[in-house]
Amino acid sequence: MSARLWLVVPAAGQGRRMGADRPKQYLPLGGRPVLARTLERLFAALPTSRLCLCLDPEDSYFDSSWVPFADWRRAPGGGERVDSVIAALAAIAPDAADDDLVLVHDVARPCVTVDDLVRLVAALAEDPVGGLLAAPVADTMKRDDGTGRVGATESREGLWHALTPQGFRFGLLRRALHEALSRGVRVTDEASAVEAVGQSPRLVAGRRDNLKITHPEDLALAELVLFAQQQAVQAGSSTPEASPTGANST
């Protein structure tokens, strides 16, 4: 049996930094909830993949009509993002093989493009470790001295922003996450767990506009990005394959 593709979408966060009246994945973005927008992008790129959505067990906002995938299931979100991802891996374990590729994508990144998703999957198809979308750091980097003043200017040489999706083989990812947690390693993304077991994830250069909606101003920014991406498609400056919403979108 050939390896299958799974999508794990952690969507159980509370959005504390956003400070809205509901978790940020349910705030409107161009007239649709952020969660619906993110799933639309994933479906446009990878329609036959299997989805596991991590949702807060107490979630009262979720509507299953926002899920375009034929094959999907839900997993109970945990206290931290990593706990939600571990719960998702447990939920797919009965049907997942060790060499199946699992892409983990934050629900809070609705601007990921079809082109980046397709390129990531292609780049990881034969990679024994796996990897992640990432963007090289563009600004001069300062380290503070703890008093609100600059302590040093750090070299940005070789520094990247870790984006999502991050994709790894099911068996490796599950082992790495469990080991990292049992050793008390701080895991803010899948790659850091895989690094902690001595592997080097592949860096796949992705678009800088694949932003994570985190703070209030990010919502307006994401709306502008979606609009600009759509304009680029309509103006013909983006090929259908590279289109942010897929060849068949309006």
Ligand X SMILES: C[C@](O)(CO)[C@H](O)COP(=O)(O)O
Ligand Y SMILES: Nc1ccn([C@@H]2O[C@H](COP(=O)(O)OP(=O)(O)OP(=O)(O)O)[C@@H](O)[C@H]2O)c(=O)n1
Which residues make up the interface to ligand Y (CB under 6 A)?
A: 10-17, 23-25, 54, 77-81, 84, 106-108, 212, 214
CB of 240 to ligand X, least distance (A): 28
Instruction: For ligand X, give the closer residue by CB, 39 or 163.
Output: 163
Instruction: For ligand Y, give the closer residue by CB, 54 or 114.
Output: 54
Q: Are 112 and 41 in contact (CB under 8 A)?
A: yes
Which neighbouring-strand residues pair with 135?
161
Residue 188 binds which one of ligand Y, ligand X, none, with CB within 5 to 8 A depending on kind?
ligand X
Query: Which token pair is 113?
Result: 């493009």
Q: Any contact of residue 196 with ligand X (CB under 6 A)?
A: no
Positions 79 through 98 that interact with ligand X (CB under 6 A): 81
Q: At what angle do helices 81-92 and 170-182 cross, to 10 degrees?
A: 140
Residue 246 binds which one of ligand Y, ligand X, none, with CB within 5 to 8 A depending on kind?
none
Count Cα atoms within 13 angstroms, Cβ side, for 77: 18
CB of 81 to ligand X, least distance (A): 5
Q: How far apart are CA 227 and CA 231, in angstroms?
A: 6
CB of 10 to ligand Y, least distance (A): 3
CB of 198 to ligand Y, least distance (A): 25
Site string for ligand X, 34-73 (x = CB under 6 A): ----------------------------------------
Instruction: For ligand Y, give the closer residue by CB, 207 or 212.
Output: 212
Q: Are 101 and 8 in contact (CB under 8 A)?
A: no
Query: Residues 164, 238, 243, 245: which binds ligand X (CB under 6 A)?
Result: 164
Residue with tokens 């979100």: 77
Query: Which token pair is 110?
Result: 């609705």
Query: Which token pair is 90?
Result: 């447990």
Local structure of 204: helix, strand or coil: strand
Q: Any contact of residue 188 with ligand X (CB under 6 A)?
A: yes
Q: Any contact of residue 189 with ligand X (CB under 6 A)?
A: yes
CA nearest neighbour of 169 among 203, 130, 195, 132: 130
Q: How far apart are CA 208 and CA 111, in angstroms?
A: 10
Binding stretches for ligand X (CB under 6 A): 81, 106, 162-164, 188-189, 212
